[in-house]
Each structure stands twice: as structure tokens, then as C-alpha cells.
Amino acid sequence: MVAVGVLLLDGDRVLLVKRAHPPQVGRWTVPGGKVELGESLTDACLRELAEETGLRCRLGPMVEVLERVVRDDSGITFHYVILDFLGSDPQGTLAPGSDSLDARWIPIADLERYETTDGLTPVIERAVEMLARGERGPYHARD
């Protein structure tokens, strides 16, 4: 399954949601989810962000491509290819949606205090660097 994530930054903070559904229930991650059939990556990012947090943002370049294969005793339970995009200029009022147990602005310096999804911290650090450099990346979403 193809999925997207939004690394929404606001100064020295990143927006994280606490997962309400498998895989990795209860862990903190960026807002995101499955791309629906016929939906653009941009539209999927903005829809998932709004559904999970009530926020909107300016969507920027792709930060990372991740593959997650989750197995249990019966075999493969999840196989996602996740495209994470940089988000900036948050707008709206933060309110966790039904797919999230919680949603918070987390100081990036405090990330180690949170149980995040596997490999999230280096991706957030890359997003911070990209935003600081003003990178537009190979993928440019419409404004």
C-alpha cells in the first residue's frame, strides 16, 4: 500500500500524533495514512493532515521514502511504501481526529522523551535541515 506522511514544522517544533490503529499503536509519528485510489499525493497529504489534526499547511518537497513490512506468526500483516513530505506554515486549530489518540506540537529537542515510530527522528532532522536550506526538492506540490 502507498501511504504519505507530513513532517509539519513550526519553528523548533514538529507536529506528532499518537497512533490509534496498528501498526505501532500508541507510538508517536507524523500525521499520514493511505493514499486513496485516484488521489494525488498532495491531496492525500493534506486530507490526512486535516483528518488527524484539524490543521492545514503549505506542502513542500519529499523528505523520505520508507518501506515498512510488518510480520507476525501468520505472515505479513502490513506492507507500506511511505512518502514523507515537508510541511510548513501551519494553519488552523490543533484537534486530534479519530485516527489519533493525541496530537501535539513537540519541541524537536525533546523527541527522545517520546516513544516514536521506528526511524522517525532522523527523518525529522532531515526535514529541519531541508526547511532551513529552503529546499524545494524533486517534488514540488502546488501552492
Please report the pLDDT score of residue 68 as a whole number.
Answer: 85
Residue with cell 515510530: 117
Tell me the three cell numbers of residue 55: 490543521
Average pLDDT, the chain: 92
Higher per-residue confidence, 77 vs 123:
123
Q: What are the structural domains, with CATH classification, of the chain?
A: 2-133 (3.90.79.10)
pLDDT at 42: 93
pLDDT digits (tens, 9 = 90+) for 132-143: 998 876 555 454
Decide: helix, strand or coil at residue 20. Answer: coil
Distance CA 63, CA 54 (A): 22
**pLDDT tens digits, residue range 63-96?**
999 998 888 889 888 899 999 999 999 999 999 9
Residue 99 pLDDT: 83
